[in-house]
Amino acid sequence: MANTITQTSAPALVVADEQIDEALRLRLYRLQVEIREAEQRAYDLFLQSLVKGTSHLSLGQEAVAAGCAAAMQKGDLSFCTYRGHAHTIARGVPIEKVLGELMGRDNGLLRGKGGSMHLTSVEHGVMGSYAIIGAHLPIACGAAWRAQYKGDKDVSVCFFGDGTTNIGAFHEALNFAAIWKLPVVFVCENNLYMEYTPISEVTAVADPAAGRASAYGLESIIADGQDADVVYRTAKVAIDKARAGGGPSLLEFRTYRYSGHSRADPAKYRPAGELEYWKQNRDAIKIYRQRLVDTGVSQDKITAIETEVKAIVDQATETCKAAPPSSLDILYTDVYADGGWAWRN
């Protein structure tokens, strides 16, 4: 099936009746702006050769990270992919820590040792970004099983791309979670493309995640990933259900990445006009900014958020530029459980 612009229109929505007040809407908007500004700055720093190696941006997908994070409670756990900057920031990790990590500086989240694809902050419930496709789904099940066994009330929320739905670990994790009724929510960010291939060309069902839910006794849920209100409401229903002992959910949010798979990908495989269509008509931040206006939020409040976030990103950038690179004394630390480099049988 060819991937065309007509396939990128907004999907049918699954919306709960959760009320969203002005304070929450301002938080959702701020989170999206923080993610957009931080990732755009990461791209700019890469062009200045201040970010080494590659990285995978979520420009265009901000509403999924923001909406899900707002629906989570302190203590809930996030499991991310290598495209995890957005989810890390959404859970409250300072932008300076994220940019410092990408730049390999000692002030980074992991003192520059983890880099772009391994952002982790247990303090904020960010339980790792995983570079191996699908590897974190069983791990999220393990964390959820621990919560169930101990009687804890935290929920594990596991994010992954559409390509992961064709990986064996996806099916194994869903089956395991469904059998044990684990408190885990699987979130597919369907941005229409795997690494370079349209997901529609290599998948037997139209909706790569939601279309398989019934095989594991789960509800088929697909929602608009460009509308943070829809994401929040949909995620909150699933998270509340998991916390109450109702078992797992599989959510598929239709979204779109503005950049290629990684910095090395010019994304020339996309049809002409597709990117422009999404930026003009389906941009998450444009949609939400208009939502604020339509619901009576003053222009001053909106502008204040945008101005403050830009200032935070600017300050974080300068702090990271001035920070020293990672120290060699951490080279052999945190390699194995004992903190050393020696192999133990």
Quote the pLDDT of residue 4: 36
Quote the pLDDT of residue 339: 56
Quick one: average pLDDT of 276-289? Answer: 98
Quote the pLDDT of residue 53: 85
Q: What is the CA radius of gyration of the chain?
A: 20
Phi, psi values for residue 252, rounded to 5° = -120, 120
C-alpha distances in angstroms, 121 versus 75, 107, 171, 190? 12, 14, 27, 25
Are the CB atoms for 88 and 98 separated by under 8 Å? yes
Q: Using CA atoms, how far apart are residues 248 and 270, in angstroms rounded to an integer? A: 34
Quote the pLDDT of residue 333: 82
**Segment 141-161, tens digit of pLDDT:** 999 999 999 999 999 999 999
Ordered by start, the domain boundaries in the chain are 13-330
Quote the pLDDT of residue 18: 67
Mean pLDDT of the chain: 92
Q: Using CA atoms, how far apart are residues 326 and 111, in angstroms rounded to an integer? A: 6
In sequence order, the β-bridge partners of residue 160 are 188
**Segment 29-68, tens digit of pLDDT:** 999 999 999 999 999 999 999 998 888 999 999 999 999 9
The CATH class, in words, for 13-330 is alpha beta
Q: Using CA atoms, how far apart are residues 303 and 313, in angstroms rounded to an integer? A: 15
Residue 188 pLDDT exceeds 50: yes
Quote the pLDDT of residue 241: 98
**Segment 1-29, tens digit of pLDDT:** 333 333 333 344 444 556 899 999 999 99
Residue 332 pLDDT exceeds 90: no
% the chain with pLDDT above 90 = 85
% the chain with pLDDT above 70 = 92
Res. 342 pLDDT band, cuts 50 70 90: low
- Name which residue leads in pLDDT, 298 or 6: 298
Q: Which is nearest to 78 in space by CA: 142, 155, 178?
A: 155
Res. 345 pLDDT band, cuts 50 70 90: very low
Quote the pLDDT of residue 272: 95
The per-type count for the chain, helices as H runs and strands as E runs, is 10, 6
